[in-house]
Amino acid sequence: MPSEHSPSDLQTLYRTRFAANSDYRQQVWAVLVTFFARWIPKDAVVLDLGCGWCEFINAVACSKKLAMDLNPDAKRNAARDVQVLEQDCSERWALGDDTLQVVFTSNFLEHLPNKSAVERTLLEAYRSLQPGGRLIAMGPNIKCVPGAYWDFFDHYVPLTELSLAEILEKSGFQVEVRRERFLPYTMSHGRNYPLWMLRLYLAMPWLWRFAGAQFLVVARKP
């Protein structure tokens, strides 16, 4: 991704923020991929955009796994069946047109340096997706965490479910799901809740309005 930070800076920030909680994060993502599976065919080619330590892409069931990040730890943490693309996501992706079925991104777009970089990245996602392919995005909703949003030094672009849906539609996507509140804000601070509670939470969307502070947007390439 384009960034105000070098790859080594990203590596240090991420290790400081998440290393102590890495085992729990992997367990959480093993549960979350079962929720997202409704939009991810098992024969799909999937790209994890801003993959971090590859918790999602390592766990998801699909035919081909790609991940994109400038953090050197992405390649170190990727499973053997994951191909890591180390590149600026706002430049042309090292992928052909119509080669993906799913682009997934979690807590990433807000780390891009500006809205122009966000738009260029979404246009690359659109180009690389096949017709009928989907982009699944979640991230902190500035409406729900107005002050706490800036607790992370590498947050730059405040987004809501509405602003993200707007730029997706401008980029050619059709928005299918637009939820203001989905998951709680962060796993980097606070209590590690039992996984059965997460499964229950995901199964009961009416609970999301009480604890959710991240948006969920799913958009389809016509």
What is the 3 state secondary structure string of the chain?
CCCCCCHHHHHHHHHHHHHHHHHHHHHHHHHHHHHHHHHCCCCCEEEEECCCCCHHHHHCCCCEEEEECCCHHHHHHCCCCEEEECCCCCCCCCCCCCCEEEEEEECCHHHCCCHHHHHHHHHHHHHHEEEEEEEEEEEECCCCCCCHHHHCCCCCCCCCHHHHHHHHHHCCCEEEEEECCCCCCCCCCCCCCCHHHHHHHHHCHHHHHHHCCEEEEEEECC
pLDDT in tens, the chain (222 residues): 445 666 655 555 555 555 557 788 899 999 999 999 999 999 999 999 999 999 999 999 999 999 999 999 999 999 999 999 999 999 999 999 999 999 999 999 999 999 999 999 999 999 999 999 999 999 999 999 989 989 888 899 999 999 999 999 999 999 999 999 999 987 655 678 899 999 999 999 999 999 999 999 999 999
- pLDDT at res. 84: 98
- pLDDT at res. 1: 41
Residue 103 identity: V
- pLDDT at res. 8: 59
- pLDDT at res. 192: 85
Residue 175 neighbours by CB under 8 Å, 6+ apart: 165, 168, 169, 217, 218, 219
- pLDDT at res. 80: 97
Q: What is the pTM of this model?
A: 0.90
- CA-closest candidate to residue 72, choices 130, 117, 12: 12
| C-alpha 51: how far from chain center | 7
- pLDDT at res. 152: 86
- pLDDT at res. 140: 97
CATH of region 27-47+88-220: 3.40.50.150
